[in-house]
Amino acid sequence: MQSPVSDVGLMSVPDPGVLLRHWGSAYVAYNIASGDTHQLGVLAGCIIEHLKTRAMTRTELLGKLGPDESVNSEQFFQMLDNTLSDLQNMDLITVHQA
């Protein structure tokens, strides 16, 4: 499955970075540039954790989220793209045009 988010190329957290804390499966993210704080679910939190290490494409991100069946379903792809879109709207990820 393809989505607008998946087409655009490399994703990263915006400069100068995003701070992340988590308690159990709930995350709180702080955008250093904007000063905004967001409460995130587990998938969004994991995405930010991975993108904090380096910029990644959607395919690379999928590989990091796990090789198992659960991340290989159309339902998951949809959820991932919705989450990436939400994170982009919150300015927690930046998409670099290919």
Partner 1 sequence: MIVTDYPFEKIRRKLAGAGLYLNIGGFVSHIRSDIDLVAEGIYQLYAGAPILDADCFADFHIALKRPTNHRRWLKPQVLFSFDDFVPFKPLPYAQAFALLEWGLNWCISTHAQQFLIIHAAAVEKSGFTAILPAPPGSGKSTLTAGLVSRGWRLLSDELTLITQAGMIQPIARPISLKNRSIEVIRDFAPDAFIGKVVTDTIKGTVAHMRAPADSVARVMEPAAPGWIIFPKFVADAPARLESAERSYAFIELAENAFNYSLQGTEGFLRLGNLIDCTEAHHFSYGNLEEAVAMFDQLARSKLNASS
Both tokens assigned to 44:
């969004």
Pattern 30-59, partner 1, x by CB under 8 A: x-x--x-x-x--------------------
Find the binder of partner 1 among 26, 66, 73, 78 (CB under 8 A).
26
Minimum CB distance to partner 1 smaller for 25 or for 73: 25
Which two structure tokens, joined as six digits, stand for 80?
Answer: 């991932």
Listed residue (72, 84, 6, 2) closest to 48, CA to CA: 84
Nearer Cβ to partner 1 (1/32): 32
Q: Is 28 in the site for partner 1 (CB under 8 A)?
A: yes
Alpha-helix residue ranges (DSSP H) falling in 1-98: 4-7, 42-53, 58-65, 74-89
CB atoms under 10 Å from CB of 47, counted, come to: 24
Residues near partner 1 (CB under 8 A) are 19, 21-24, 26-28, 30, 32, 35, 37, 39
